Amino acid sequence: MSRYGGWMSAGRRWNERYSQDFEPFPDAPAEWLVEHGDLLDGGGRALDVACGDGRNALYLARRGYEVDAIDASDLAIDALRSAARERALAIAPRVVDLEREPLPVGPYDVIVTMNFLQRDLFGPLQDALAPGGLLFYETLGQAHLAQLGRSFNRAYLLEDGELLRAFGELELIDCFEGVAERAGGERGVGSVVARRPADER
């Protein structure tokens, strides 16, 4: 499942959303990523999945990573590509519709997936990690309904414990389920930081 349902392609859905007030590379990376910034040693390849405005890609690039930033919206990717070139950032934005195309080939030292849920990618995300590579994943969970009373399609919410089960082959570093302050407001989320075992080939 992706960010929204319906028959419209992912690229078209997100182009419509980004058609107004789109700002590439705002200086506000995901809180879950920043909270664990001490894990980022600033070397290697990184992948920002469903990168949107590129805020997390910018954060990773500033910490020394070469970042592949992918999104289904060609409007977003065109803006990010131009902004990355102007700022001489080590970010390579490209259009990838993960509902129709595979995840880019790794290995990646860091993979970030925020506010995006497509369950058939859980396995490929693990496979794309380099030995010792880190996965940062966060998206809406059951607390968004149960604790905050928000209206949201349950098909696009994590089940309780779903990320822990999905990434059980990785070494768990941290996890969270519940209500957290995100982007200036409360959201019910499920979050995980995990590492592929360094001795795994």
Q: Are 141 and 160 in contact (CB under 8 A)?
A: yes
50 lies in some domain: yes
52 lies in some domain: yes
164 lies in some domain: yes
200 lies in some domain: no
pTM of the model: 0.89
- The whole-angstrom separation of Cα 167 and Cα 153 is 23
pLDDT in tens, the chain (201 residues): 444 344 355 656 656 665 567 788 888 999 999 999 999 987 899 999 999 999 999 999 999 999 999 999 999 999 999 999 999 999 999 999 999 999 999 999 999 999 999 999 999 999 999 999 999 999 999 998 887 777 777 888 999 999 999 999 999 999 999 999 998 899 899 999 999 999 866
If DSSP codes are grouped into helix, strand and coil, which group holds residue 98? Answer: coil
User: What's residue 144's pLDDT?
Assistant: 84
31 lies in some domain: yes
98 lies in some domain: yes
The count of domains in the chain is 1
Which DSSP string corresponds to 118-178?
-GGGHHHHHHTEEEEEEEEEEEEBTHHHHTT-----GGGSBPTTHHHHHTTTSEEEEEEEE
- The whole-angstrom separation of Cα 76 and Cα 132 is 31
User: What's residue 3's pLDDT?
Assistant: 44
82 lies in some domain: yes
The torsion defined by the Cα of 26, 30, 36 and 41, in degrees rounded to 10, comes to: -40
User: What's residue 2's pLDDT?
Assistant: 44
201 lies in some domain: no
CATH number at residue 122: 3.40.50.150
User: What's residue 20's pLDDT?
Assistant: 64
Q: Which domain holds residue 184?
A: 10-195
User: What's residue 41's pLDDT?
Assistant: 87
